Amino acid sequence: MPNRPRPRVAALTATALLLSCALAGCGGDSHDEDLSAQKLSWKDCRAPSRAEGGGDAPSPLPGGATWQCATLKAPRDWAKPKGDTIDLALIRAKTSGPKDRRIGSLVFNFGGPGGSGVTTLPAFGTDYAHLRTRYDLVSFDPRGVGRSAPVECLNDPQLDFYFEQDWSPDDSAERTALLNNTKEFNAACEDNSKKMLPHVRTTDAARDMDLMRQVLGDDKLYYFGISYGTELGGVYAHLFPKHVGRAVFDAVVDPTQNSEQGSLGQAEGFQLALDNFAEDCTSKTEDCPVGDTAQDVKNRIAKLLADLDRKPIPGIGQRLLTQTAATNGIAQSLYSKDFWEYLVEGLQQAYDGDGRILMLLSDSLNGRSENGEYSNITAANIAINCADDKPRYTAADVERRLPEFRAASPLFGDFLAWSMVSCTDWAVPGAADHPDVSAAGSAPILVVGNTGDPATPYEGARKMVKALGPGVGVELTYKGQGHGAYGSKNSCVQNAVDGYLLNGRVPAAGTVCK
């Protein structure tokens, strides 16, 4: 699951409010039982919920085995472990290998924050087939996400309007509109999810994972974290260093940065990915259809976005492709080199006045399905980030920093700078400037950085290794493109990761894969 950029990115009917409370544990019963002793009831998975992104039930695995789902009860408030509970949605694929070779459960978090592991693991399950020979593959919807007490904010039509707003305001009127729309979004989150907002911090999710470990029957947590999943894994290792088994962090979040520094780093990362895309397109033997030189490619994109700021073009249905939607679509296409061909095609169409492909890419980033329904990835992303991140920024703070953001990325700088106001009016205070991931006493954690990663820049891997502490983090570098390394199918990376997770072989620190 790709990591979303720092969040820039209404009243419910009585029926919907009741449903929301049922899912979120509003008024849930207190309990006396030991939740670590609960038994999970695994059943064939049903189709994903709207909050998880909708769609069909996961297809059977190779060989005919089915994906199984269950719910885990966890305290809503970990400070009151005997209080109200919430249900966390889990999914698994049982090991394909002999029982006497089974190591345990390998728990995945694919990032976001806000991504549904219940829908993502089956989508990429075949990529981890080799790991399934010795593990049950397990993932989950973290609290506040998907089926796990989901945070709800705006409804679908309101979200369409929310995503149409201009996230790079050029004057006081546009700036006021942006701030007002952000305030309305945050107020809706408080109205519809008030009881969950204080309890969706990454520390809460880490405690959920330790409960999950116990209920799954494992003495240690075997873990594969991607993108934000590396931050979650680092927080887990800090809280429970002696419970860490074999763990891999891929597409690594820099744990030393506050939210402003993280947004600036992403501006630099996405600009680097755009530069690499433009160089790749124009360096091929055939003509690049979107520019004659790398600079020409970027100049034409800049002109397109300026034109869209003045006059949007037809997108999908009655919706128009705005400057913001086009920027989102371009960002989404930079998450993987496999998407670069769609960016070329989308730009060609947009230059001819057709915004459909760029809008499809933007919708994908925002969690909007073709039927107009949104998953709750945006609501969860903002709720988790705002609960985690202590700093609160004003419009004046953003305007002071705009030159630095624009220098980092002429294309993405404004958008990521203005993302800093997303938590300004949030109902719950943020926990800290940045997460604590120090994990003295932990087993080795393999930390994999990709030099061309747009969303979690490469430098974050080295910062994570240092922050985990001596003897814990083991750095591996992949010189590639896109978000993450294992999913690139690079054999050097996959052999190193599989060798550690399956056989306990820790690669030499500083290993480089090309």
Catalytic residues: 227, 453, 483
C-alpha 511/C-alpha 499 separation (Å) is: 14
- 8 A C-beta contact, residue 376 and residue 23: no
List the structure tokens of 110. 């694919």
Residues contacting 148, CB < 8 A, separation 6+: 86, 87, 88, 89, 140, 141, 142
Task: Give the pairing of strands 244-250 and 445-452.
Answer: parallel
List the structure tokens of 160. 């369409």
C-alpha 374/C-alpha 385 separation (Å) is: 19
Pick from 49, 51, 137, 129: nearest CA to 91: 137
Pick from 375, 442, 346: nearest CA to 150: 375
The helix (H) or strand (E) run that includes residue 224 is strand 221-226
Q: What is the 3-state secondary structure (H, E, C) of 315-370?
A: CCCCCEECHHHHHHHHHHHCCCHHHHHHHHHHHHHHHCCCCHHHHHHHHHHHCECC
First to last CA, the chain: 22
Task: Give the pairing of strands 511-513 and 473-481.
Answer: parallel
Task: Give the pairing of strands 244-250 and 313-314.
Answer: unpaired
- 8 A C-beta contact, residue 428 and residue 197: yes
The helix (H) or strand (E) run that includes residue 163 is helix 156-164
CA distances from 139 to 101, 306, 381 (A): 21, 42, 18
